[in-house]
């Protein structure tokens, strides 16, 4: 029977099954960060338990750390404590931890792939919903709660129920100016933020195949915003090419054998899914969200909704609340919406390719005088170093953008980078929830190119008409 990739990974990781009970599923890779782990380590300590396979777990600090003045101690005592506690927990339980000064440090979902910790066919978990990012490599990767973090540390397994599978097929070729971010926002706009609940998604089709690994990570990253726990892409030559010279790649197995195994995880021809969604890449415009949920999204040439045109009363009520929070009227063209802040970063869009794409638009332009803050935050130390080696930092700085140190930063504003009440921000992150980037702040999700274009023109702009310098 031909199998899809999810079925293959599931089959290969079953440790124990009993009728009517959850399957005990083996976990190959566990990633840990400072926010969702302290109570898990404490739980182990209280129960007198050890980490079963500490060498399969890797820790980084990313959510709390400052993006400026990294040579100074962290000012916020609670943030500082959380970071310190991660270090002592890792030392106690024998786990490798990438300290904020370590070259390998960065956002957990950026460094996993970059270091070769993320491999095809792996089961990967982390106490973080955007673990779905790693699915870009053909890994079954999903977010878990803190109790489950403790469970994985203690047993190297999780109790899981098999999910349904959904094929999300993106046909056609990406038009000029359309990025992976626009594709995933368009998918969420189409199926809704709960459209994928109960499913694991596999993204297929020419448009997905044509994406780089960076682009694929952007797509899989936001699977959770469609309600799916995980999103995968079958490994292919692009995947294999990315997995070269990564420090943590397996060393004992010959390269050819590794490649053969990796490619073997790809979905079989003729496999089936429980549901299928089809999108035509050619019809996708640059996307901008207008509301307080990633599904409240539209094309750059469209407008905010007209409430009387929304049939479902609950949905209308939500849209009304969202417009009110966002300080927007009905039926306003997106290109008339002005912003005062910009954030280029997060595990969705802070990889080298994102910075390169954005810098091409920025070159020879200046940030608009109405912009109070425009920050570029690389996803990891290595991304930052690479960008600096290519001179991208200078392009951003000359245009008036701030060039910061790596971390989650204003994606969730746990450190000092945040919006003030009433600020309106073009953001390359993944969540436009109320208050996500700071209480009273208004977030519009866009691609990196759309974000910098908005910072330069002061309003949302159709990058398909951009004047490159």
Partner 1 sequence: MKPFTTLKGIAVPLDRQNVDTDQIIPKQFLKRIERTGYEDALFFDWRFKQDGKTVDETFEFNAPRYRGAKILLARDNFGCGSSREHAPWALDNYGIRCIIAPSYADIFHNNCFNNGMLPVRLEAGAVDRLFVELRATEGYALEIDLPSQTVRTPSGEAIHFEIDPFLKERLLNGWDQIGLTLRHADKIAAYEAAHAG
The answer to the question of residue 60 lying near partner 1 (CB under 8 A) is: no
* Sheet strand arrangement including 442-445: 402-403, 373-376, 341-344, 424-427, 442-445
Question: What residues are paired with 29 via a beta bridge?
Answer: 124
Q: Return the DSSP state at 106.
A: B
Tokens matching residue 220: 């899989």
The answer to the question of residue 424 lying near partner 1 (CB under 8 A) is: no
Binders in 91-120 for ligand SF4, by CB under 6 A? 107-109
CB 432 within 8 A of CB 291: yes
Q: Which of 412, 430, 391 is nearest to 130 (CA)?
A: 430
The answer to the question of residue 411 lying near ligand SF4 (CB under 6 A) is: yes
Place of tokens 């500082």: 80
The answer to the question of residue 150 lying near partner 1 (CB under 8 A) is: yes
Tokens matching residue 302: 């469209």
Please provide the DSSP assignment of 306-327 as one string. Answer: PGGG--SHHHHHHHHHHHHHHT
> Residue 206: CA atoms inside 13 Å, Cβ hemisphere, count?
8
For residue 421, the partner it binds in partner 1, ligand SF4, none, with Cβ less than 5 to 8 A by kind, is partner 1
For residue 197, the partner it binds in partner 1, ligand SF4, none, with Cβ less than 5 to 8 A by kind, is partner 1
Min dist CB 224 to ligand SF4, Å, is: 9
CB neighbour list of residue 158: distance below 8 Å, 6 or more residues apart: 24, 25, 27, 125, 144, 148, 151, 152
CB 419 within 8 A of CB 141: no
- Distance, in Å, from the CA atom of 34 to the CA atom of 96, rounded to the nearest integer, reads 13
Of 13, 30, 104, 130, the residue at the interface with ligand SF4 (CB under 6 A) is 130
Binders in 252-311 for partner 1, by CB under 8 A? 252, 293
Min dist CB 377 to ligand SF4, Å, is: 9
E strands along 146-251, which residues? 157-160, 164-171, 199-204, 230-232
**How many chain residues bind partner 1 (CB under 8 A)?**
65
C-alpha dihedral sign at 318, 321, 325, 328:
positive
CB neighbour list of residue 211: distance below 8 Å, 6 or more residues apart: 180, 219, 238
For residue 321, the partner it binds in partner 1, ligand SF4, none, with Cβ less than 5 to 8 A by kind, is partner 1
Q: Which of 445, 179, 129 is nearest to 294 (CA)?
A: 445
Binding to partner 1 by CB under 8 A, coded x per residue (else -) over 15-34, reads xx---xxx-x-x--------
For residue 346, the partner it binds in partner 1, ligand SF4, none, with Cβ less than 5 to 8 A by kind, is ligand SF4
Binding to partner 1 by CB under 8 A, coded x per residue (else -) over 219-238, reads -----x--x-x---------
Min dist CB 212 to partner 1, Å, is: 27
The answer to the question of residue 152 lying near ligand SF4 (CB under 6 A) is: no
CB nearer to partner 1: pick between 8 and 365: 8
Which residues here bind partner 1, judged by CB under 8 A? 15-16, 20-22, 24, 26, 35-36, 38-39, 42, 47, 49, 52-53, 63-64, 76, 78-79, 81-82, 85, 127-129, 143-148, 150-151, 154-157, 159, 161, 193-194, 197-198, 224, 227, 229, 252, 293, 314-315, 318, 321, 412-414, 421, 431, 433-436, 439-440
Which residues here bind ligand SF4, judged by CB under 6 A? 62-63, 107-109, 128, 130, 346-347, 408, 411-412, 429-430
């Amino acid at each position: 029977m031909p199998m899809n990739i999810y079925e293959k990974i599931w089959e290969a990781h079953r440790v124990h099954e009993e009728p009517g009970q959850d399957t005990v599923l083996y976990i190959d890779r566990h990633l840990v960060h400072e926010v969702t782990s302290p109570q898990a380590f404490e739980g182990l300590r209280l129960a007198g338990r050890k980490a079963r396979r500490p060498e399969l777990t890797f820790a980084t600090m990313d959510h709390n750390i400052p993006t400026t003045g990294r040579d100074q101690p962290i000012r916020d005592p609670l943030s500082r404590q959380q970071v310190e506690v991660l270090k002592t927990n890792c030392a106690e339980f024998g786990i490798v931890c990438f300290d904020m000064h370590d070259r390998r440090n960065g956002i957990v979902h950026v460094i996993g792939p970059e270091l070769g910790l993320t491999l095809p066919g792996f089961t990967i978990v982390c106490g973080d919903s955007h673990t779905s990012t790693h699915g870009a490599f053909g890994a079954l990767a999903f977010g878990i709660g803190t109790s489950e973090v403790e469970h994985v540390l203690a047993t190297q397994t999780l109790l899981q129920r098999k999910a349904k599978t959904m094929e999300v097929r993106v046909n056609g070729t990406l038009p000029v100016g359309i990025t992976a971010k626009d594709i995933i926002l368009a998918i969420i706009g189409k199926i809704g933020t709960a459209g994928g609940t109960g499913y694991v998604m596999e993204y297929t089709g020419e448009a997905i195949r044509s994406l780089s690994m960076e682009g694929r990570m952007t797509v899989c990253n936001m699977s959770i915003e469609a309600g799916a726990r995980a999103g995968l892409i079958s490994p292919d030559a692009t995947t294999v090419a990315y997995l070269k010279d990564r420090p943590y790649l397996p060393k004992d197995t010959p390269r050819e054998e590794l490649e053969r195994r990796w490619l073997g995880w790809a979905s079989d021809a003729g496999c089936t899914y429980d549901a299928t969604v089809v999108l035509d890449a050619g019809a996708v415009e640059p996307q901008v969200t207008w509301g307080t949920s990633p599904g409240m999204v539209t094309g750059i040439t469209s407008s905010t909704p007209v409430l009387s045109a929304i049939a479902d009363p609950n949905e209308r009520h939500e849209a009304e609340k969202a417009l009110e929070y966002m300080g927007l009227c009905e039926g306003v063209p997106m290109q008339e919406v002005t912003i005062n802040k910009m954030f280029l970063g997060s595990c969705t869009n802070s990889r080298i390719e994102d910075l390169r794409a954005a810098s091409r638009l920025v070159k020879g332009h200046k940030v608009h005088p109405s912009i109070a803050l425009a920050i570029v935050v690389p996803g990891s130390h290595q991304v930052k170093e690479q960008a600096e080696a290519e001179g991208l930092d200078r392009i951003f700085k000359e245009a008036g953008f701030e060039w910061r140190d790596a971390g989650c930063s204003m994606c969730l504003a746990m450190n000092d980078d945040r919006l003030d009440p009433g600020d309106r921000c073009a953001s390359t992150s993944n969540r436009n929830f109320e208050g996500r980037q700071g209480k009273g702040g208004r977030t519009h999700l866009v691609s990196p190119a759309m974000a910098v274009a908005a910072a330069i023109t002061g309003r949302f702009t159709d990058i398909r008409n951009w004047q490159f310098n």
